[in-house]
A and B are shown apart, each in its own frame.
Chain A
Amino acid sequence: MFVRINNCWNDFTLLVGLILLFTGTSFANERLGKPRVMVDASITAWVGGKIIPIDGDEIEDGVLLVQNGRVLAVGQRSSLQIPEGATVIDATGKVIMPGLVCTHSHVGGIGGADSSGAIQPDVRIYDSINVRDSGFRRAVAGGLTTLNIMPGSGHLMSGQTIYVKLRSGKTIDDLMIKAEDGWIMGGLKMANGTNSIRENSAGFPGTRGKSAALVRQFFIKAREYQEKVERAAGDPEKSPPRDIGLDAMIEVFQGRRIVHHHTHRHDDIITVLRLAAEYNFRVVLHHVSDGWMVAEQIAAAGAPCSIILIDAPGGKLEAVNLKFETGGILERAGVTVGFHTDDYITDSRLFFRSAALGVRGGMSRKAALESLTINGAIMLDLQERIGTLSVGKDADFIILDGDPLSVYTKVLQTWVEGEKVFDREDPTDRLYAVGGYGAGQDQQPYFCCYHELMMQQYGLKQLSNQILQK
Chain B
Amino acid sequence: MRLNTNLITRWMFCYCGWIIGLANVYAFVMPVHVEAQIAVRGKVIYTMAGEPIRDGVILIRDGKIASVAPASEVTIPDDFQVIEGTIVTPGLIDAHATVGLTGIYNQSHDQDHRESSAPIQAELRALDAINVREQLIEYLRGLGVTTVHTGHSPGELISGQTLVMKTVGNTIEEATLVESAAVVATLGPSANRSGGSPGTRGKQMAMLRQELIKAQEYLAKQEKRSSNGNDGSAENADNPSANPITRDLRLEALARVLKRELPLLVTANRAQDISSALRLANEFNFMLWLDGAAESYLLIDEIRDAKVPVFLHPSMIRTAGEYENLSFETGAKLADAGIPVLMQSGFEGYVPKVRVVLFEAAILAANGMTFEQALATITRDAARILGLADRIGTLRVGLDADIAVFDGDPFEYTTKCHSVIINGRVVSIEPR
B363 to chain A: closest residue by CB: A407
* A315, CB-defined interface residue at 8 Å: yes
Tell me the minimal C-beta distance from B265 to chain A in angstroms. Answer: 23
A405 adjacent to B325 (CB under 8 Å): no
Whether a CB of chain A sits under 8 angstroms from the CB of B411 is: yes
Among B100-108, B199-207, B282-290, B389-397, the one that faces the other chain is: B100-108
Of the 9-residue stretches A30-38, A291-299, A343-351, which lies at the interface with chain B? A343-351
Q: Are B359 and A314 interface neighbours, CB within 8 A?
A: no
Task: Flag if A437 contacts B366 (CB, 8 Å).
Answer: no
Compute how far the CA of A358 lies from the CA of B397 in the bound complex, rounded to whole angstroms.
38
For residues 341 through 374 of chain B, which have their beta carbon under 8 Å from a beta carbon of chain A? Answer: 348, 350-356, 359, 362-363, 365-367
**A317 sits at the interface (CB 8 A):** yes
A440 to B320, CA, bound (A): 7
A345 to B363, CA, bound (A): 17
Contact with A along B78-109 (1 / 0, CB 8 A): 00000000000000000000000001111100
Interface presence of A334 (CB below 8 A):
no
Q: Is the CB of B107 within 8 A of A437?
A: no
Q: Are A315 and B106 in contact (CB under 8 A)?
A: yes
A435 touches B (CB below 8 Å): yes
List A382-441 residues whose CB lies under 8 Å from chain B.
405-408, 410, 434-441
B13 at the interface (CB under 8 A from A): no
Q: Is B329 an interface residue (CB 8 A)?
A: yes
With a CB–CB cut-off of 8 A, which chain A residues contact B318? 344, 347
B325 close to A435 (CB less than 8 A): yes
Instruction: Provide the A329-358 mask, 1 if CB < 8 A to any CB of B, else 0.
Output: 000000000000000111100100100110
- B367 — which chain A residues lie within 8 A by C-beta? 434
Whether A315 contacts B352 by the Cβ 8 Å rule is yes
B223 to chain A, nearest CB (A): 45
> Which residues in A have some Cβ–Cβ distance to B below 8 Å?
134, 138, 310-317, 319-320, 324, 344-347, 350, 353, 356-357, 359-360, 405-408, 410, 434-441
Chain B residue at minimum C-beta to C-beta distance from A289: B351
B38 sits at the interface (CB 8 A): no
- Judge whether A319 and B320 touch: CB under 8 Å: no
Task: Report 18 cross-chain contacts, Cβ distance below 8 Å, ordered by A residue.
Answer: A310-B351, A311-B356, A311-B359, A312-B140, A312-B355, A313-B352, A314-B104, A314-B351, A314-B354, A315-B348, A345-B351, A347-B319, A405-B413, A434-B367, A435-B330, A437-B297, A439-B324, A440-B320
Interface string of B411-430 (1 = CB under 8 A from A): 11111100000000000000
Are the C-beta atoms of A438 and B356 separated by less than 8 Å? no
Indicate if the CB atoms of A316 and B106 lie closer than 8 Å: yes
Cβ-defined contact, B412 with A406, below 8 A: yes
- CB contacts under 8 Å to A, within B297-354, are 297-298, 316, 318-320, 323-330, 348, 350-354
Residues of B within 8 A of A315 (CB): 104, 106, 348, 350-353
User: Do B351 and A344 touch (CB < 8 A)?
Assistant: no
For the complex, is B139 an interface residue (Cβ under 8 Å from A)? yes
> A190 to B86, alpha carbons, bound, how many Å?
45
Residues of B within 8 A of A345 (CB): 351
Residues of A within 8 A of B354 (CB): 311-312, 314
Q: Identify which of B105, B329, B415, B416 contacts A434 (C-beta below 8 A).
A: B329
Residues in B neighbouring A346, C-beta threshold 8 A: 316
Which residues of chain A come closer than 8 Å to B327, judged between CB atoms?
Answer: 434-436, 439
Q: Restricting to B219-235, which residues have a CB under 8 Å from any CB of A?
A: none
**18 extra A-B contacts, CB within 8 A, seeds A356-B413, A434-B367:** A134-B324, A312-B354, A313-B135, A314-B105, A315-B104, A315-B351, A316-B106, A319-B351, A320-B104, A346-B316, A353-B413, A360-B413, A405-B413, A407-B366, A408-B365, A410-B366, A434-B329, A440-B324
Contacts of B351 in A (CB 8 A): 310, 314-316, 319, 345
- A436–B325 CB distance below 8 A: yes
Query: Which label, helix, strand, loop or mixed, suits the secondary structure of the B interface?
Result: loop
Q: Distance in Å from the Cβ of B336 to the closest Cβ of chain A?
A: 15
The CA of A317 and the CA of B109, in the complex, are separated in Å by 13
Q: Shortest distance in angstroms between B135's beta carbon and chain A's nearest beta carbon? A: 8
For the complex of A and B, the 4 pairs showing the least CB-CB separation, nearest first, are: A440-B324, A314-B104, A315-B351, A356-B413
**For residue A316, which residues in chain B have a CB less than 8 angstroms away from its CB?**
106, 350-351
Note all chain B residues with C-beta closer than 8 A to A350: 316, 363
Distance (Å) between the CB of A96 and the closest chain B CB?
20
Task: Judge whether B297 and A436 touch: CB under 8 Å.
Answer: yes
CB distance from A107 to the nearest CB of B (A): 11
Structural contact, A312 and B366, CB atoms closer than 8 A: no
Interface of A is mostly: loop
Contacts of A347 in B (CB 8 A): 316, 318-319
| A314-B136, A356-B413 given; A435·B352 CB < 8 A | no
Is residue B402 contacting chain A, with contact meaning CB distance below 8 A?
no
* A350 CA to B330 CA, complexed, in Å: 17
Q: CB within 8 Å of A: which of B107-144?
A: 107, 135-136, 139-140
- B414 & A314 in contact (Cβ 8 Å cutoff): no
Verify A310–B326 contact, CB threshold 8 A: no
Q: Write out the residue numbers on chain A whose beta carbons fall within 8 Å of the beta carbon of B362.
A: 407
> Across the interface, do A313 and B319 meet the contact criterion of CB distance under 8 Å?
no
Question: How many angstroms between the C-alpha atoms of A423 and B389 in the bound complex?
Answer: 44
Least CB distance from B418 to A in Å reads: 12
User: Which chain B residues lie closer than 8 Å to A320 at the CB level?
Assistant: 104-105
Residues of B within 8 A of A313 (CB): 104, 135, 139, 352-353
A407/B104 in contact, CB under 8 A: no
Say yes or no: A314 contacts B106, CB within 8 Å.
Answer: yes
- Residue B273 interfacial (CB < 8 Å): no
Partner of A311, one of B106, B298, B324, B355: B355
Alpha-carbon separation in the docked complex, A434 to B368 (Å):
11
Closest Cβ of chain A to B358, distance in Å, is 10
Beta-carbon nearest neighbor of A135 in chain B? B319
Residue of A314, A359, A408, A434 near B328 (CB, 8 A) is A434
Q: A359 touching B353 by the CB < 8 A rule? A: no
B156 at the interface (CB under 8 A from A): no
The interface residues of chain A lying within 8 Å CB-to-CB of B297 are 436-437
**How far, in angstroms, from A435 to B136 measured CA to CA in the complex?**
29
A435-B319 in contact (CB<8A) = yes
Check if B325 sits within 8 Å of A438, measured CB to CB. yes
Please measure, in the bound complex, the distance between the C-alpha atom of A346 and the C-alpha atom of B352, giving whole angstroms: 9
CB-nearest residue of chain B to A437: B325
Q: Does B400 contact A (CB under 8 A)?
A: no
A75 CA to B139 CA, complexed, in Å:
45
| Set of chain B residues within 8 Å of A360, measured between Cβ atoms | 413-416
Complex Cα–Cα for A441 and B316 (A): 18
* B295 within 8 A of partner (CB): yes
Q: Is the CB of B365 within 8 A of A407?
A: yes
For window 124-180 of B, CB contacts with A under 8 Å fall at: 135-136, 139-140
CA distance A436 to B107 in the complex (A): 34
Q: What chain B residues lie within 8 Å of A311 (beta carbons)?
A: 316, 352, 354-356, 359
Q: How far is the CA of A313 from the CA of B350 in the complex (A)?
A: 11
Q: Smallest Cβ distance from A322 to chain B, in angstroms?
A: 8
Q: For residue A144, give the distance in angstroms from its CB to the closest CB of chain B.
A: 16
Asked if residues B107 and A317 are in contact (CB atoms below 8 Å), the reply is: yes
B319 touches A357 (CB 8 A): no
Most chain B C-beta atoms within 10 Å of own C-beta, residue among A345, A357, A405, A407: A407
User: In angstroms, how far is the closest chain A Cβ from the Cβ of B221?
Assistant: 46
